């Protein structure tokens, strides 16, 4: 149970780094590798930690406000690898939003982590928009 809690804590730290626009914290959560993978919702894959860091810097610079409410958080452990699946219920505001106005969206994320000497670190983040009726799995 402690391992699952550790994995879930890293997952929470990941969303907290994004919410607070903390690129250093985000960078520390990833293994530094050329084969890491990040798929932002609706986008093509970004491969390698250096490119992933640049993608986060760009996203954070263009996201004045973002807040995540995670639901359906499920942890799966397989030796030295763990995955967390969750539904990201997202509130955002950008420069085009009226005062006090927010955009809501829903995405599904798979976050795959590996065990390192420093703790669990991200290897893969794949987020995708939820387009279908939630009561109808195609």
By CB atoms closer than 10 A (0-12, 13-18, 19+), residue 25 is middle
Query: Which residues in 14-43 contact a copy of itself (CB under 8 A)?
Result: 35-37, 39-43
Total chain residues near a copy of itself (CB under 8 A): 43
Residue 113 binding a copy of itself, by CB under 8 A: no
Spatial contact of 10 and 120, defined as CB atoms under 8 Å apart? yes
Residue 95 binding a copy of itself, by CB under 8 A: no
Q: How far apart are CA 3 and CA 22, in angstroms?
A: 25
Q: How far apart are CA 74 and CA 52, in angstroms?
A: 24
Select from 74, 91, 94, 103 the one that contacts a copy of itself (CB under 8 A). Answer: 74
Spatial contact of 92 and 105, defined as CB atoms under 8 Å apart? yes
Pseudo-torsion of CA 12, 14, 19, 20, nearest 10°?
A: 110
What is the nearest approach in angstroms of a copy of itself to the Cβ of residue 32? 14
Select from 78, 96, 104, 118 the one that contacts a copy of itself (CB under 8 A). Answer: 78
Select from 2, 96, 101, 132 the one that contacts a copy of itself (CB under 8 A). Answer: 132
What is the nearest approach in angstroms of a copy of itself to the Cβ of residue 45? 5
**Other C-beta atoms lying within 10 Å of the C-beta of residue 14:** 21
Q: How many CA atoms lie within 13 A of 73 on its CB side?
A: 15
Residue 10 binding a copy of itself, by CB under 8 A: no
Interface residues with a copy of itself (CB under 8 A) are: 35-37, 39-47, 55, 58-59, 62, 72, 74, 76-81, 83, 85, 87, 108, 110, 112, 114, 123-124, 126-132, 134, 137-138
């Amino acid at each position: 149970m402690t391992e699952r809690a550790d994995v879930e804590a890293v997952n929470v730290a990941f969303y907290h780094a994004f919410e607070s626009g903390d690129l250093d914290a985000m960078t520390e959560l990833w293994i530094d590798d050329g084969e890491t993978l990040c798929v932002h919702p609706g986008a093509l894959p970004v491969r390698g930690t250096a490119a992933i860091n640049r993608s986060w810097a760009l996203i954070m610079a263009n996201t004045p406000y973002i807040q995540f409410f995670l639901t359906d958080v499920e942890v799966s452990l397989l030796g030295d690898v763990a995955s967390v699946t969750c539904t990201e219920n997202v509130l955002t505001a950008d420069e085009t939003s009226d005062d006090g106005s927010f955009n809501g969206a829903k995405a599904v994320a798979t976050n795959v982590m590996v065990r390192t000497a420093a703790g669990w670190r991200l290897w893969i983040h794949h987020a995708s928009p939820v387009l279908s009726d939630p009561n109808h799995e195609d």
